């Protein structure tokens, strides 16, 4: 869900403490900015949607890919899961009804748990991620493409696209990865760039930075990319929200970059939005058996006491 952000942290050309990346990470969670700027790297994180898109572009089938993960014998169950979703969608005419609690599928039997849990945990982290991977492959990728206007009669390719985010006041470019459908229309190429966004969450900076980005290694886009917000859960597609004006976005990123240098670094997601912690690469530093660690509060140590505050 935030795979692009954590991959940017791991990208060796993005220096540690890069001001723009620090600002973006601080906006995600100040505590994460504290960890990264202190020298810690995000650990292995499992993003089934990103993983499915990546594997999909290799060109094999879903069954082939499950085989690569040691799940050959799970392929029949995967097929049944896909059929169950199709049937459920046919009788429940809302977007992605299979995400509701009423959908009976998407749970392993005791025997499947016995046989496959080791491979599932190794490659996907947990069972829910395996089902999300299958659902993304079989449904979401196609839903997003069609709803982005890339129809089957077009000559298109889904590609991981490497961008350079540039805000000159905040130093060198930040190298960033995104997914895009490259569509060939006669002598032109249209690029439909999809920003994966969790359901109901704001995304104040990525669309703005993407609009100002260049293609890595190439000075300009072959055509102005058409941006889409891809709902990570439902498969819906919409225009990215224009929350901030250019001036506001720029000014806020500059301020966030300054705050990210000195803190404070409260673990805001731990306190208010624990779902984000589930997919955070720094999770193991913040939680021990679902309880906050002392380390999770370390970023608060430098908070001023405000003892001279007159109030
Ligand atoms: S685990 Fe949660 S609180 Fe800790 S850094 Fe990640 S998002 Fe922030």
Which residue, judged by its Cα, is nearest atom 4 of ligand 1?
A: 286
pLDDT tens digits, residue range 271-288? 998 988 988 999 999 999
* Domains of the chain: total: 2
Domain end among 83, 105, 139: 139
Q: Are residues 236 and 97 in the same domain?
A: no
Alpha helices (runs of H) in 148-205, residue ranges in sequence order: none
Which atom of ligand 1 lies at the shortest distance from residue 270's CA? 3
Is pLDDT of 303 > 50?
Answer: no
What does 7-46 look like in DSSP terms, one character per residue? HHHH-TTS-TT-HHHHHHHHHH-HHHHHHHHTTPPP----
Which atom of ligand 1 lies at the shortest distance from residue 28's CA? 7
Q: Are residues 83 and 9 in the same domain?
A: no
CA angle 170, 176, 179 (to 5 degrees): 145
pLDDT band, very low/low/confident/very high, at 255 (cuts 50, 70, 90) = very high
In a domain, 297, yes or no: no
pLDDT tens digits, residue range 166-224? 999 998 999 999 999 999 988 889 999 999 998 878 889 999 999 999 888 766 788 89
In a domain, 289, yes or no: no
Using DSSP's 3-state secondary structure scheme, residue 86 falls into helix
Q: Are residues 187 and 92 in the same domain?
A: no
Q: Are residues 119 and 255 in the same domain?
A: no
Q: Are residues 27 and 67 in the same domain?
A: no
In a domain, 286, yes or no: no
Domain end among 220, 238, 262: 262
Q: Are residues 32 and 160 in the same domain?
A: yes
In a domain, 302, yes or no: no
SS3 content of the chain, % helix, strand, coil (to 5): 45, 15, 40
In a domain, 208, yes or no: yes
Domain that holds residue 243: 3-44+149-262
* Rounded average pLDDT over 50-61: 94
Domain end among 82, 114, 139: 139
pLDDT, position 309:
41
157 CA distance to ligand 1 middle (Å): 35
In a domain, 304, yes or no: no
- Between helix 19-28 and helix 3-10 the angle, nearest 10°, is 150
pLDDT, position 2:
87
pLDDT band, very low/low/confident/very high, at 302 (cuts 50, 70, 90) = low
Q: Are residues 27 and 58 in the same domain?
A: no
| Mean pLDDT of the residues in the chain | 91
35 CA distance to ligand 1 middle (Å): 9
pTM of the model: 0.90
Is pLDDT of 308 > 70?
Answer: no
Strand ranges of the sheet holding 214-215, from the earlier edge strand across to the other edge: 214-215, 155-165, 174-185, 188-197, 226-231, 237-238
In a domain, 224, yes or no: yes
In a domain, 53, yes or no: yes
Residue 25 near ligand 1, beta carbon < 6 Å: no
Is pLDDT of 310 > 70?
Answer: no
């Amino acid at each position: 869900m935030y795979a692009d952000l954590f991959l940017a942290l791991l990208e060796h050309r993005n220096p540690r403490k890069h001001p723009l990346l620090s600002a973006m990470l601080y906006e995600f969670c100040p505590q994460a900015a504290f960890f990264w700027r202190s020298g810690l790297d995000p650990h292995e994180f499992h993003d089934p949607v990103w993983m499915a898109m990546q594997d999909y572009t290799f060109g094999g089938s879903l069954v082939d890919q499950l085989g690569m993960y040691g799940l050959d014998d799970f392929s029949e169950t995967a097929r049944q899961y896909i059929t169950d979703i199709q049937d459920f969608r046919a009788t429940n005419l809302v977007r992605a009804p299979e995400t509701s609690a009423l959908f009976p599928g998407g749970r392993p039997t005791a025997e499947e748990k016995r046989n496959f849990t080791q491979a599932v945990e190794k490659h996907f982290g947990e069972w829910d991620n395996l089902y999300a991977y299958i659902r993304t492959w079989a449904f979401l990728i196609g839903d997003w493409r069609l709803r982005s206007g890339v129809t089957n009669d077009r000559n298109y390719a889904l590609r991981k696209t490497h961008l350079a985010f540039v805000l000159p006041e905040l130093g060198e470019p930040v190298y960033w990865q995104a997914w895009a459908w490259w569509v060939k229309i006669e002598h032109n190429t249209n690029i439909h760039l999809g920003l994966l966004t969790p359901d109901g969450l704001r995304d104040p900076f990525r669309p703005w930075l993407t609009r100002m980005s260049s293609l890595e290694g190439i000075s300009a886009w072959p055509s102005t990319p058409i941006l889409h917000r891809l709902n990570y859960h439902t498969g819906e597609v919409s225009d990215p929200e224009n929350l901030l004006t250019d001036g506001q976005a720029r000014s806020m990123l500059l301020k966030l970059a300054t705050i990210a240098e000195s803190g404070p670094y409260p673990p805001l997601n731990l306190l208010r939005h624990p779902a984000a912690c589930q997919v955070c690469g720094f999770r193991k530093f913040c939680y021990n058996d679902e309880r906050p660690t002392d380390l999770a509060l370390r970023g608060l140590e430098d908070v001023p006491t405000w003892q001279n505050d007159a109030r």
